[in-house]
Amino acid sequence: MNDRLARIALMRLAEPGDALMGGLVASLGAQAVVERVRAGRPDPALVRLLTGSAGDDGGGAGGSVGDGGADENDRAGRGAGGGGHDAGGGGAGGSREERIAGRLRRAFASWSARLEPADPRRDLAEGERNGARLVIPGDPEWPTQLDDLGRARPYALWLHGDADLRFSCLRSVALVGSRAATPYGAHVAAEFGAGLSGRGWTVVSGGAYGVDGAAHRGALAGGAPTVAVLACGVDVAYPSAHHQLFTAVRAHGVLVSECPTGSYPTRPRFLIRNRLIAALSRGTVVVEAAVRSGALSTARHALSLNRVLGAVPGPVTSETSAGCHRLIRQGAAVCVTTPEEAIELTGALGADLARESHGPVLPRDELEPETRRVLETVPARGGAGPAAIAVAAGVGMDTALACLGGLAAAGYIERVSRGWRLRPEGPRSPSGR
C-alpha cells in the first residue's frame, strides 16, 4: 500500500482533524500508521513518540499532543466531537504518559474497527470514476498553506472541478456567515463574491444556504474560480437544493472535501471543516453572523492561523450582524464594507505570495528537458491524467507531478476535471483565469 492509498484509508478510519492521528502521521508517515493500526494495540514506543519532542511535524500550530486542549488545532479537532479520545471513561488521572497511553489505546480500538471494512483501492477507483481527484501532501496541487494546520492538517483531499486548488487559493478570500442569512446578508455576500471574482480573487466558502451559497453565486458572475469546501463527500450534494450550484462550481472552480466520497455531513464535521476554509484562504471575511453562529469558528481558526480577519457591519438592530460587530469591537476583525477593502486587507500581508503567481515567464526553450517532454504530452483539448502523462513522457510519476506543477505555475497548462491540458492563451500568469 503506497502513501496515496494509506491516506485514503486514514480518511476512512479517523475523523478529520484528529490531532492524535495527525501527530502519528507527522511522526511515522501514513503507511506506517496504517500498518500499526492493522497490527492492533499501540506499542509503548508510540507513547514516547507523542510525549517526546514532536517538533518534526513542520506545522506551525503543531506542538505536543499530550495535553488535550492545549493547542488550538487539537481543541478544534476534539471540540468538534469526532477527533478526541478522552470521551470514554478513565484517563483523567495518572501521569501524562499514562493519559496519552489511554487515549491511544481507545483510539486504536476505534481505528481498527473502521479499518476492517475500508477498501482504499475501491475508494480511489470510485472517486476517479466520478471525476474527482485525490491530492495529498507533496502533490503539485496540494495547497501547502494547509501545513499551517499542523497536526490537524487533512490526511488528503478529494477535489472535483476544473480549477487548480493550489493556484486558485494564492489570491483568495473566504466569505463566511450565517446559513439563515437575512436578505441584507445574502445581498452583501453576492456583492462581495462578484466584486472579488471580478478582480481576479478566488472566493472560498462552504456549501450551505445563506451566505455560502450567495457568495458562490456572486463569484460565478465574476471571472475567478470559486472554491466550495464541503463537510460531505465531493460527490454528495448537500444540501441537495444546491445540486445545480455545485455543478456550476465544478465548472468554474473546485469542490473540496477531506471526507471519503459518499459520506454525509455531520454537525461536528461542519465545524471541523471550517478550519480548512480558514487555512486555504489568505483571509476570512465574516459577512453576516449572529454571536453564536458557526461562522465565528471559521473566524477563530483564521486568527489562530495568523490569517487576516474582516467583518462586514450591518444594522445594529439585526441580531444576525451582532457577531460581526462583536469581532470589530474586540479588535479581532477589521471593519470591511466593500470587496476592495477585503482585498486591501487580504492583499497587504501577502503581496509576496500574490506576486508568486505573476512570476517571470519561462520561455519554452529554457525548460528542463524532462519538463519539456512532459509539456509535449499534455493535450490541447480534453485533458490527460498525471499517470498517462508520465507514461507518455517516459518519466516517473513523481517527476511528472513535479513538472506539471511547475508548468501550471508558469502558465503553460491548466487543471481541468479530466487532468491537465494546455492553456489556450499560452504561458502567462495563471491569476488571469
Is residue 169 within 8 A of residue 281, CB to CB? The reply is yes
Q: Per-residue x/- mask for a copy of itself, residues 339 to 378, rule CB under 8 A?
A: --x-------------------------------------
Binding residue for a copy of itself, selected from 328, 342, 389, 393, defined by CB under 8 A = 328
* Least Å from the CB of residue 297 to a copy of itself: 21
416 contacts a copy of itself (rule: CB under 8 A):
no
Q: How far apart are CA 305 and CA 419, in angstroms?
A: 31
338 contacts a copy of itself (rule: CB under 8 A):
yes
For a copy of itself, the closer of residues 188 and 278 by Cβ is: 188
313 contacts a copy of itself (rule: CB under 8 A):
yes
* Least Å from the CB of residue 329 to a copy of itself: 5
Q: How far apart are CA 194 and CA 196, in angstroms?
A: 6
Backbone angles phi, psi at 422, to 5 degrees: -70, 145
Binding residue for a copy of itself, selected from 329, 387, 396, 428, defined by CB under 8 A = 329
Q: Which long-range contacts (CB under 8 A, 24 or more apart) does 121-126 make?
A: 121/5, 123/8, 123/11, 123/12, 123/260, 123/261, 124/4, 124/5, 124/8, 126/261, 126/262
Binding residue for a copy of itself, selected from 40, 337, 387, 396, defined by CB under 8 A = 337
* Least Å from the CB of residue 324 to a copy of itself: 8
Q: How far apart are CA 242 and CA 249, in angstroms?
A: 10
| DSSP secondary structure code for residue 204 in this structure | E
- Name the residue among 270, 250, 247 with its Cα closest to residue 258: 270
CB half-sphere exposure, 245, CA atoms < 13 A: 25
Cell reading at 89: 471513561
The single-letter code of the amino acid at 382 is: G
128 contacts a copy of itself (rule: CB under 8 A):
no
* Least Å from the CB of residue 307 to a copy of itself: 19
Degrees (nearest 5) of the Cα angle 295, 282, 163? Answer: 95
For a copy of itself, the closer of residues 104 and 322 by Cβ is: 322
Stretch that binds a copy of itself, among 46-54, 227-235, 261-269, 320-328 (CB under 8 A): 320-328
Q: Please state whether beta strands 334-335 and 308-311 pair in parallel, antiparallel, or not at all (unpaired).
A: parallel
319 contacts a copy of itself (rule: CB under 8 A):
no
Binding residue for a copy of itself, selected from 179, 187, 364, 372, defined by CB under 8 A = 187
335 contacts a copy of itself (rule: CB under 8 A):
yes
What's CA 106's distance to the chain center, in Å?
A: 28
- Name the residue among 344, 182, 174 with its Cα closest to residue 274: 174
Binding residue for a copy of itself, selected from 314, 383, 419, 427, defined by CB under 8 A = 314
Q: How far apart are CA 155 and CA 377, in angstroms?
A: 30
User: For the chain, what percentages of helix, strand and coil (3-state, to nearest 5) are there?
Assistant: 50, 10, 35
* Least Å from the CB of residue 312 to a copy of itself: 6
21 contacts a copy of itself (rule: CB under 8 A):
no
Binding residue for a copy of itself, selected from 55, 94, 315, 432, defined by CB under 8 A = 315
183 contacts a copy of itself (rule: CB under 8 A):
no
* Least Å from the CB of residue 332 to a copy of itself: 11
Q: Which helix (H) or strand (E) holds 127?
A: helix 120-129
Binding residue for a copy of itself, selected from 234, 322, 374, 407, defined by CB under 8 A = 322
Binders of a copy of itself: how many residues, by CB under 8 A? 20
Is residue 16 within 8 A of residue 272, CB to CB? The reply is yes
Stretch that binds a copy of itself, among 70-78, 181-189, 250-258, 398-406 (CB under 8 A): 181-189
Stretch that binds a copy of itself, among 206-214, 239-247, 311-319, 389-397 (CB under 8 A): 311-319
| DSSP secondary structure code for residue 414 in this structure | E
Stretch that binds a copy of itself, among 183-191, 195-203, 348-356, 387-395 (CB under 8 A): 183-191
Cell reading at 72: 488550538
Backbone angles phi, psi at 18, to 5 degrees: -65, 115
For a copy of itself, the closer of residues 187 and 364 by Cβ is: 187
* Least Å from the CB of residue 331 to a copy of itself: 9
Q: Which helix (H) or strand (E) holds 386?
A: helix 386-393
Q: How far apart are CA 57 and CA 61, in angstroms?
A: 10
Stretch that binds a copy of itself, among 45-53, 233-241, 323-331, 357-365 (CB under 8 A): 323-331
Interface residue list for a copy of itself (CB under 8 A): 184, 187-188, 312-317, 321-322, 325, 328-329, 334-338, 341
